[in-house]
Structure 1
Amino acid sequence: MASRPIRIAGRSLLLCASGSVSDRRHALAAFARAYPSDPVDVIISDYMSEVNMTIGAARKVDNKSLAADHGTPFVGAGPAYEAPFLEALEPALEDIAKYGIKVVANAGNTDTETLYNVVNDMIRRKKLGIKVAWISGDEVLPAINAALQAGTSPFKNIYTGEVLAGWQFKPIYAQAYLGGLGIAEALSQGAQIVICGRVADASPVIGAAFWFHRWQRSQLTELANAFIAGHLIECSCYVTGGNFSGFKSIETTAAGWVDIGYPIAEISKEGQVVITKQKGSGGAVTVDTCSAQLLYEIQGPWYFNSDVTAVLDQIWFEPLGPDRVAVHGVQALPPPPTTKVGLTARGGFQAEAMYFITGLDVAAKARMTEAQLRKSLQPYSDKFSLLSFSVLGAPAVDADSQNAATAVLRVFVQARQSADIAPQRFLRPIMDNVMQSYPGGTFHLDFRLGIPKPFFEYYVSLLPQSEVEHVVHLDGKDTAIPPPTLTHVFPERQPSQPSTALPIDLAKFGPTQRAPLGSVVHARSGDKGSDCNCGFWVRHADEYAWLRTLLSVDMVKLLLGKECVPRVEIERFELPNLRAVHFLFRNLLDRGATSTASVDFLGKNCAEYLRARHVDVPLKFLARGKL
């Protein structure tokens, strides 16, 4: 079996803060059904995000509390696992059993054992002989509390630098990011479906490749390549044309924009990686789509996992043919002795309301409304922890429709107690302002956003891997997974260059024109806690000499504009083989996706905002065609 590559199908089904599903559910069954013509060995389902981690944590704690009060399990708040996984799995089970396909899913969230029991019941009802395992060890709040009491760690926040004792919120749950070797052990013991909670996004691919090729922990290069393969496919269609700044080029492919296909990673025994996708599906796998996903979510040249550290500054992609791209240049170091841990706390409650502003003098109309509303809210605002006003969008010049001439004034509020932003203290004063408002004053009639809803604070620190009880559960047998014995301690901050070491006189590129940076530059951005990362890359070598000279930290501060508030720090590194420059914007997202006031709570629009900023672009680059 090890003489051929393992083929791993990747898909992602993420839940946003409102609980809506943000990926299609058909892929698991489609992969299983297509096995005779497009076989895969393992199907990976990645469900976890920092948003649904906090939601799952609250549900787990609330369900436990309510069960204790009532004497029986209470599920009114919803399951603490990701129920949509069951909708994806159920229609695939017969084909999974028929073809012997393995499935690894981190859909357990904070209640992995319960999901394991539900899946087993589903399999028994269908009378299928599928073995299921589950992984525990990610729940670590007791270990953190014990270490705090013993004084062995201050649990410094890796994003903000504060210590846990100084955090103004009380943790209700903590999850460590597990590696892939528990998954590998479960598969080696005969499990066909492995249910996980908070394993790192790429850990299912690491575990599957480790099991299939019978690797050892000392094979760091192979592990690092599997890690990057996992990173490339973990976000499903993000590597096949979704969330891609070159999306217009995909419209002309055979299947176009419709039904963009899910990715497949082929990983050889030697760790060689090829990324491809489902046959006959939409989208594309190209050097650019792979570059986009590679630059997404990384935070510097060192990419950490509990099993290995991948070093990225020499990575490059090779096109092998239509929708086939090979990965090269990944280097490896031992994993850190610690793993990331996310702590959830109840942050309070938030609400928002919107006014529509049309036509002329939008800025003045917004100022007028803000002044009026601040006065109306003044009797209550001393209890607000946050009150912000922002204008979303701008009317088109000489717009030919009223919608095109409309912007939105968003009023956002947070408070520690629900009563402090009850409708009579927030929504009612905003509605009652309309008669003294700007010309055309109109508020949004969907008042549901103005009703207080809970939000959560998220704190990220590090926990020694030796403190994690990583266990595989299968057929009544529990198998402990020991932490790595070979580790490497890394500096707190990654290497950073404020500007390129190889600058060039920008005048040498000839005449220029003020144009959007995105006319010739791709970009991709995303969130990690309160940080936002953003990678830029270009198509040609001379464009890269221009790009890495242009995009210094100082220039990017100018491009960020008003977004670059004093709390934001910027780190920068280059990936020359990708013709890319990567930036880490520390604290740009304030307290992170679950508590930030920004509408770009996942940081995904940061790249597109920066691509729209105007710079002096050489005319010869524009002559090659805009992206």
Structure 2
Amino acid sequence: MSEPGTVEDPSPLRIGNASGFYGDRFAAFREMLTGGPLDVLTGDYLAELTMLILARERVKDPELGYAKGFLRQLGDCLGLAAERGVRIVVNAGGLNPEKLAQAVGELARRQGVELRVGHVTGDDLLPRAGEFTDPAGLLAANAYLGAFGIADCLRAGADLVVTGRVTDAALVVGPAIAHFGWQRTDFDPLAGAVVAGHVLECGAQATGGNYAFFTELAAHGHDLRRPGFPLAELHADGSSVITKHPGTGGAVTVGTVTAQLLYETGGPRYLGPDVTARLDTVRLEQQGPDRVRISGVRGEAPPRSLKVGLNRLGGWRNEVTFVLTGLDVDAKAGLLREQLEPVLKEDGPAEVRWTLARTDQPDAATEQQASALLQLTVRDADQAKVGRAVSNAAVELALAGYPGFHVTAPPGPGTPYGVFTSAFLPQPEVEHWAVHPDGTRHAIDPAPVTSADVPDVPGVPEVPGVPDVEAADFPSQNDAGPTRRAPLGLVAGARSGDKGGDANLGVWVRTDQAYHWLAATLTVERLKGLLPETAELTVTRHLLPNLRAVNFTVEGLLGEGVAAQARFDPQAKALGEWLRSRHLDIPEALL
């Protein structure tokens, strides 16, 4: 890697990813270090649920609160990274980046590896819990910091940088800032790096993992059993090429990159602490096998406020899944509910939810295929109301309930569940510190220009906004020709996920003709008809013509977030696949 900050060096910066979540493939770090040349290797370990898990660990032991698994990964290949001159940037510091940085230093000393370790801090706002609405039970409060603290550590000579809560894309943007010497108002290059970082952050999701058209990739000879992890060749203008190491599994195509760009995003403006990236300006081009170029990304000034993720314990929950086999499934479910009604309604749990999944088939060849699942979920602030009282009542019906009574697992005493909410603070009210390898603490100033300030700052040109595309640009398809009733997934891909209690659902197609039909057809009203679970919720649709995509935000679908486990699919990971399975009238020309 060239000396950070050398603007004269036009060579691309090769940044790879080796972790998309805490628990991702352990061997990925070694695979990325040995598979081909890299300048920087990143690892993303943090998610809303992970922050709650780390917070509970920190309550038990103040020395913890970081991703311990990263230390084991690093111990396996620290010498290899040093030998190859690959810098490492990870957010594995979680709630305790300083302690992880110390542990990394001790690991390096034990292995006899010379390693300069920096870390980024300031995101932990738990000591200021009283400033947030309903601070009771708050276990973690962390601001999403930007990339300039990472860049500052790298410029100070760090070989490895540990952060707490930064934006996921910051792990890529920080090294790019240090390498190319970008300034705070270089919005277009910064936005390009944010887009590249978003593609990399979820690991193998960019190389064929969780991909809607996976059967097509397999049919074309791509090995999906063990997809390689992605890397980006970043250029000084913010453009990039997404690729992977030669000989690794999976594939990098316009489709796989599109799917990841739609993941957990919303409208055309992708807000961040350093820049607002315009997703509606992104252009993708297949340059060759496993090479997709990203270009044309425009950036605008960042918002004035930083997002703060708040994690708290919300109470206790319990769950029992009853198996209903053979005939009279509805009657069996009705009897069970009547038998449990006294314990559930007479001073029972605050929240009771029954869900009947009709997985049973008539005249089934196996007992499992003849069975339906009835799930009881209870939640309350009092563990006693959801614990043994409910579990014992369920077990007592074993010989007194419906015929064939059994459950998928013995009910337990109840478990705590978490709640995730967001708050916002003005950027100047959140500290951002880069701690250099020599221990020097350097304050990182907040963004000097925010979206409302741009026109008033001398010498800073206003970044012209790109007009949002309106639905009127895609008139009704009355002339689409003959149609056939078929699953949407025959022509459209989808990728979905969670943002707190909301769900994101991106849908894309692969030709201009198909997009004209999709944008005119898949309206909010049509989506609610296809997914009845969303009918009473607020749904917002955004059009992204460059990606031939529509992106939906479904507010409140996930209740209080993934840790609350309020839904069968608590992170909405398969919401897109449900939509693709629904039937509607599709022009035969597209099929």
The equivalent residue for 1:8 is: 15
1:489 to 1:344, Cα distance in 2 relative to 1, 3 A? farther
Asked if the contact 2:20/2:201 (under 8 Å) is kept, the reply is no
The equivalent residue for 1:158 is: none
| Shift of residue 397, structure 1, vs aligned partner | 5.1
What are the equivalent positions in structure 2 for 1:353-432 lying under 5 Å apart?
353-381=320-348, 384-396=349-361, 398-423=363-388, 425-432=389-396
What are the equivalent positions in structure 2 for 1:25-36 lying under 5 Å apart?
25-34=26-35
For 1:430 and 1:99, how far apart are their aligned partners in 2?
59
Task: Using structure 1 for the length normalisation, give the TM-score.
Answer: 0.87
Asked if the contact 2:417/2:563 (under 8 Å) is kept, the reply is yes
- Give 3-state SS (helix, strand or coil) of 2:61's partner: helix
Question: Any stretches of 5+ residues in structure 2 without a counterpart?
Answer: 3-8, 454-464
Asked if the contact 2:21/2:202 (under 8 Å) is kept, the reply is no
Residue correspondences, number: 572
- Give 3-state SS (helix, strand or coil) of 1:621's partner: coil
1:260 to 1:315, Cα distance in 2 relative to 1, 3 A? same
What are the equivalent positions in structure 2 for 1:296-315 lying under 5 Å apart?
296-315=263-282
What are the equivalent positions in structure 2 for 1:430-449 lying under 5 Å apart?
430-447=394-411
1:295 to 1:429, Cα distance in 2 relative to 1, 3 A? same
1:496 to 1:221, Cα distance in 2 relative to 1, 3 A? closer
The equivalent residue for 1:484 is: 447
Correspondence for 2:235 among 254, 262, 268: 268
CA-to-aligned-CA distance 1:333-357 (integer Å, 9 cap, x gap): 0111111101122211111111112
For 1:49 and 1:396, how far apart are their aligned partners in 2?
38
Asked if the contact 2:90/2:162 (under 8 Å) is kept, the reply is yes
CA-to-aligned-CA distance 1:540-575 (integer Å, 9 cap, x gap): 2221111111111111111121x1253x21111111
Correspondence for 2:434 among 472, 477, 480: 472
What are the equivalent positions in structure 2 for 1:521-532 lying under 5 Å apart?
521-532=492-503
The equivalent residue for 2:306 is: 339
1:33 to 1:600, Cα distance in 2 relative to 1, 3 A? same
Asked if the contact 2:492/2:508 (under 8 Å) is kept, the reply is yes
CA-to-aligned-CA distance 1:23-70 (integer Å, 9 cap, x gap): 211111122223xxx101000100000001112223223434xxxxxx
- Give 3-state SS (helix, strand or coil) of 1:368's partner: helix
Q: Residue type matched to 2:352 in 1?
A: L
- Give 3-state SS (helix, strand or coil) of 2:166's partner: coil
For 1:393 and 1:106, how far apart are their aligned partners in 2?
42
1:345 to 1:267, Cα distance in 2 relative to 1, 3 A? same
Asked if the contact 1:13/1:25 (under 8 Å) is kept, the reply is no
Which region of structure 1 is more displaced relative to structure 2, 406-415 or 293-302?
406-415
For 2:338 and 2:506, how far apart are their aligned partners in 1?
39
1:572 to 1:255, Cα distance in 2 relative to 1, 3 A? closer
- Give 3-state SS (helix, strand or coil) of 1:594's partner: helix
For 2:305 and 2:336, how far apart are their aligned partners in 1?
50
Asked if the contact 2:239/2:297 (under 8 Å) is kept, the reply is no
The equivalent residue for 2:580 is: 611
Asked if the contact 1:307/1:334 (under 8 Å) is kept, the reply is yes
For 1:395 and 1:620, how far apart are their aligned partners in 2?
36
Asked if the contact 2:97/2:119 (under 8 Å) is kept, the reply is yes
Asked if the contact 1:499/1:553 (under 8 Å) is kept, the reply is no
| Shift of residue 143, structure 1, vs aligned partner | 4.2
- Give 3-state SS (helix, strand or coil) of 2:399's partner: helix
For 2:302 and 2:334, how far apart are their aligned partners in 1?
52
CA-to-aligned-CA distance 1:283-311 (integer Å, 9 cap, x gap): 11001101100000112111011111101
What are the equivalent positions in structure 2 for 1:207-246 lying under 5 Å apart?
207-246=174-213
1:108 to 1:63, Cα distance in 2 relative to 1, 3 A? same
Task: Using structure 2 for the length normalisation, give the TM-score.
Answer: 0.93
What are the equivalent positions in structure 2 for 1:65-464 lying under 5 Å apart?
79-143=64-128, 145=130, 148=131, 164=133, 167=134, 169-381=136-348, 384-396=349-361, 398-423=363-388, 425-447=389-411, 450-464=412-426
Identity across the alignment (%)? 38
Q: Residue type matched to 1:420 in 2?
A: K
CA-to-aligned-CA distance 1:320-369 (integer Å, 9 cap, x gap): 00000011232110111111101122211111111112234434433332
Q: Residue type matched to 2:392 in 1?
A: R
Q: Residue type matched to 2:123 in 1?
A: D
Asked if the contact 1:255/1:281 (under 8 Å) is kept, the reply is no
1:364 to 1:302, Cα distance in 2 relative to 1, 3 A? farther
For 1:499 and 1:553, how far apart are their aligned partners in 2?
13
Q: Residue type matched to 1:32 in 2?
A: L
Asked if the contact 2:313/2:416 (under 8 Å) is kept, the reply is yes
RMSD: 2.1
The equivalent residue for 1:151 is: none
